[in-house]
Amino acid sequence: MAGLQVTHLTGIRELSLSDLQQILSTTDQFAEVLQRSVKQVPSLRHLTVLNLFYESSTRTRISFELAARRLSAQVVNFSVAGSSVSKGETLLDTARNLEAMQMDLVVVRHQASGAAHFLAQQLRASVINAGDGINEHPTQALLDAYTLRQFAGSLTGLKVALIGDIRHSRVARSNIFCLGKLGAQVAVCGPPSLIPQAIETLGVTVLPDVVEALRWCDVAYVLRIQRERQQAGYFPSLQEYAAWFGVHERALQQAGKKVPIMHPGPVNRDVELAAVLADSGHSLILQQVKNGVAVRMAVLFLLGQR
Amino acid sequence: MAGLQVTHLTGIRELSLSDLQQILSTTDQFAEVLQRSVKQVPSLRHLTVLNLFYESSTRTRISFELAARRLSAQVVNFSVAGSSVSKGETLLDTARNLEAMQMDLVVVRHQASGAAHFLAQQLRASVINAGDGINEHPTQALLDAYTLRQFAGSLTGLKVALIGDIRHSRVARSNIFCLGKLGAQVAVCGPPSLIPQAIETLGVTVLPDVVEALRWCDVAYVLRIQRERQQAGYFPSLQEYAAWFGVHERALQQAGKKVPIMHPGPVNRDVELAAVLADSGHSLILQQVKNGVAVRMAVLFLLGQR
Amino acid sequence: MAGLQVTHLTGIRELSLSDLQQILSTTDQFAEVLQRSVKQVPSLRHLTVLNLFYESSTRTRISFELAARRLSAQVVNFSVAGSSVSKGETLLDTARNLEAMQMDLVVVRHQASGAAHFLAQQLRASVINAGDGINEHPTQALLDAYTLRQFAGSLTGLKVALIGDIRHSRVARSNIFCLGKLGAQVAVCGPPSLIPQAIETLGVTVLPDVVEALRWCDVAYVLRIQRERQQAGYFPSLQEYAAWFGVHERALQQAGKKVPIMHPGPVNRDVELAAVLADSGHSLILQQVKNGVAVRMAVLFLLGQR
């Protein structure tokens, strides 16, 4: 195994196709480990992983924590509440101080786009972006790609529709980069106010109508709608958003088919996605969550090799 | 060892006498482990335990965490603060998502009565109720029974008075079921507003007067009074509650004896229980806490065998 | 190795010179462990360490947690948020209850001066003071002494200036005791309102002027200024504090030399210390943080021997 060309995972955009493929094939190995009775390997027992979370999170933090522990790494969790951050310390000071305690890998989630890049420039530890503002959430896109490959065999030519708030979604951005590199076709669909101008330059098609998007795609990837976007005037009400851009049974009926559904979670039930579809046999959502641990084990393992 | 008949521990009510006795005898083994220099056994090193706590808790969460780690299980702590719950995710979605990360045992505390039953129906993981609303807190009753057996040798015919807010106490309910199954006699005592109607149908006696209850019992089990009950009008003031239904030296003098004191903690000193009694040689409170770890090791171990 | 004379580390004041020197020489051994690929030793695998933190903290809690885990101890973290403390439990009840779950070492941070002494009198576990009010923060002073010794070879006759809010600083107090025992010369410098009366009785010199203090010292130890002291009237504004008592390049120019800078963190950049100095080659701050883990390993190890 050659190791990755990058020493940090700040985004999918910076990742070569071969690094991307190496992460996915390494994930296969760890997915196999997770099927064993004892789901732990000693690979990273010499390393310490810092989870540096400036935004609240359930599944991402726990997924990274489990991934690290199943590699036998030491894990230190740092969340904003009850920390020196309330004493006004800068991100860089916090990170440098924690790094001085000999952290090898720093997993960071932060509300500012670019936070992970910034730390990657400043720290000697390997930085893994667990979501930075509206920029990227690369391990989400990796677990999505892994789930899609598991479902469809190959991503080449696979049609994926990203539906919802494209403008503010780091998940959408990372998926657009990732799916593009892996040869999938990507369309985006949502209210015009939530589609960035010139998004086509990223190689995606804009489909303004949900039914049309569902008709076109092989897989529908539904994005979480942030309730605070309504206050900001991006759409008039959650009810109208659900009626016009939600993915529900009527839309599928109009499209004339059933499609597999993905979602990064947590789902606003019956807003962007009908509860009945989220729980149906066509939902890949829990498979995404399950694969998240294996993908993150692969990323931590590969970055821990240097 | 045959294993338990149940696959979840949702309440004492659902537990057969043989399951109950098996838990208590398995606790003996783990209590012995906890006397060793190295208090850890490898029994559950292949399992992952999720602590899913929707209500704040000190000793119960830490007790479960220590129990799991002393069995060498992986432990994931999830508390409401700083989680997706603030993003409006349902209990079921949170639990299913975390279960998808391959949790084997889910310890849940929730403000809604029935929450543990609900999850037990929905999840493949084994669910352990760490307190659900005003329904049950089964591991508390198990550690209480273990402590009583340790103290008295046998529970058969032992007279236990539960004193305080019976109406809102999941501890009282679980103890009534548990003590009843193990052959103890149970009386309840408290302000009439805090004694449920028809409580006698659960096989207990109502004793309206604390002195009478103390005179009758072999052990006094004092319940924590929630300060918010006063606002709701269940009693006029903490001072009056303490005077009339608190367990203090004057009440014991009037009863003409000393009785062993139990309490589920945390104690409101000099409200439901005199501080001097809580700290006296007749208090079994710290022994209860100590036994809690061994009892929870037994429960996790037995449910982890399937 | 004879073990320490004390069974608790409540403060430097109570520590004999030989205990102090034993901690520093044991730190050498653990600093060597932390240079290895696998930074873990099995020394305390039979012990459980409780981190009992009543004040928010980043580096101190994580430093103790890492130290304990690198000694293979079990670690239980208890922070005030989401705990029974919100239910009004006393410090002693919380500590006794957690101790009943068989904690061997209790690391406590508390806003009340004397909290650690109080627990040391009441608990059978060994108590380590991680900061109590304005009394002491002994492991900070130990890591500072270790860092100074690393830097200067010996502390005998070394001139250390403590600059800032001496009155409210447990770090200053512990350092005054520690540096004095180890033979260093100590001066304190700060606004008169923040210098305790009769501080000279502790064996230190008062230097009212920062430039003079910088001229005198071999090492400048800058203390964190609490913003809330301004509201209390101890100084007129942060700007004026920074101008008159901050350590910045102009002050160093006036002193006519460069001095090594220490700070307990987190730094208020450009208030008590110029950002450019905090990040310069003369800053020992990150070395302090790094040494903190080794010093705490030494303290936990030595107190864990009894």
Give the confidence band of B1 by pLDDT, cuts at 50, 70, 90.
low
**Among C35, C60, C142, CA closest to A102:** C35
Q: Are residues C103 and C186 in the same domain?
A: no
| Mean pLDDT (chain A, rounded) | 94
Nearest to C102 among B39, B80, B265 (CB): B39
> What is the C-alpha separation between C21 and C4, in angstroms, rounded?
10
What pLDDT score does C2 carry? 64
Test A290 with B100 for CB contact under 8 angstroms: yes
What pLDDT score does A163 carry? 98
For A36-69, the pLDDT digits (tens) are: 999 999 999 999 999 999 987 878 999 999 999 9
Q: Are residues B199 and B226 in the same domain?
A: yes
Does residue B216 fall inside a structural domain?
Answer: yes
- Residues of chain B neighbouring C100 (CB-CB closer than 8 A): 286-287, 289-290
Asked whether C186 and C217 are in contact (CB, 8 A), the reply is: no
What pLDDT score does C82 carry? 46
> For the whole model, what pTM was predicted?
0.95
Asked whether C76 and C302 are in contact (CB, 8 A), the reply is: no
Does residue B97 fall inside a structural domain?
Answer: yes
What pLDDT score does C227 carry? 81
Three-state DSSP string of chain A: CCCCCCCCECCCCCCCHHHHHHHHHHHHHHHHHCCCCCCCCCCCCCCEEEEEECCCCCHHHHHHHHHHHHCCCEEEEEECCCCHHHHCCCHHHHHHHHHHCCCCEEEEEECCCCHHHHHHHHCCCEEEEEEECCCECHHHHHHHHHHHHHHHCCCCCCEEEEECCCCCCHHHHHHHHHHHHCCCEEEEECCHHHCCCCHHHHCCEECCCHHHHHHHCCEEEECCCCCHHHHCCCCCCHHHHHHHHCECHHHHHHHCCCCCEECCCCCCECCCECHHHHCCCCECHHHHHHHHHHHHHHHHHHHCCC
- Chain B interface, mutation test: which of C85, C101, C124, most B Cβ atoms within 10 Å? C101
Q: What's the whole-number mean pLDDT along residues B180-202?
A: 96
Number of domains in chain A: 2
Q: Are residues C163 and C238 in the same domain?
A: yes
Share of chain C above pLDDT 70, in %: 97
Q: Are residues B165 and B282 in the same domain?
A: yes
Nearest to B100 among A53, A65, A289 (CB): A289
Q: Are residues C271 and C200 in the same domain?
A: yes
- What are the tokens at A49? 């992983």
Give the confidence band of A302 by pLDDT, cuts at 50, 70, 90.
very high
- Closest-CA residue of B relative to A61 is B83
Q: Are residues B85 and B157 in the same domain?
A: no
- What are the tokens at C203? 């064996």
What pLDDT score does A82 carry? 46
| Mean pLDDT (chain C, rounded) | 94
Does residue C195 fall inside a structural domain?
Answer: yes
> What is the C-alpha separation between A285 and A247, in angstroms, rounded?
14
- Chain C interface, mutation test: which of A47, A101, A103, most C Cβ atoms within 10 Å? A101
What pLDDT score does A2 carry? 64
Does residue A265 fall inside a structural domain?
Answer: yes
Does residue A4 fall inside a structural domain?
Answer: no
Does residue A7 fall inside a structural domain?
Answer: no
Residue-wise over A40-64: b if at least 16 C-beta within 10 A, else e? bbebbebbbbbbbbbbbbbbbbbbb
Q: How far apart, in Å, do the first and last CA atoms of chain A sit?
A: 12
Q: Are residues B283 and B152 in the same domain?
A: yes
Q: Note whether ipTM > 0.90 here.
A: yes
- Closest-CA residue of B relative to A62 is B76
- Residues of chain B neighbouring A267 (CB-CB closer than 8 A): 89, 93
Q: Are residues B22 and B87 in the same domain?
A: yes
Q: Is the pLDDT of residue B251 over 50?
A: yes
Q: Are residues B129 and B261 in the same domain?
A: no
Q: Subunits with at least 3 CB pairs below 8 A relative to chain C?
A: A, B
CATH number for the domain harbouring residue B178:
3.40.50.1370
For C89-145, the pLDDT digits (tens) are: 889 999 999 999 999 999 999 999 999 999 999 999 999 999 999 999 999 999 999
Test B286 with C88 for CB contact under 8 angstroms: no
Test A81 with B82 for CB contact under 8 angstroms: yes
Does residue C1 fall inside a structural domain?
Answer: no
Q: Are residues A142 and A65 in the same domain?
A: no
For C156-179, the pLDDT digits (tens) are: 999 999 999 999 999 999 999 999
Q: Are residues B48 and B176 in the same domain?
A: no
Q: Is A152 exposed, middle or buried (0-12, 13-18, 19+ CB in 10 A)?
A: middle
Q: Is the pLDDT of residue B111 over 90?
A: yes
Q: Is the pLDDT of residue C85 over 80?
A: no
> What is the C-alpha separation between C303 and A53, in angstroms, rounded?
33
Domain that holds residue B245: 139-288
- Residues of chain B neighbouring A79 (CB-CB closer than 8 A): 82
Q: Closest Cα of chain C to A51: distance in Å? A: 12
Does residue A214 fall inside a structural domain?
Answer: yes
> What is the C-alpha separation between A52 and A106, in angstroms, rounded?
7
Test B290 with C101 for CB contact under 8 angstroms: yes
Q: Are residues C80 and C187 in the same domain?
A: no
Q: What's the whole-number mean pLDDT along residues A258-270?
A: 96
Q: Which amino acid is at A95?
A: A
Query: How far out from the chain centre does Cα B84 lie?
Result: 28
Test B88 with A268 for CB contact under 8 angstroms: yes
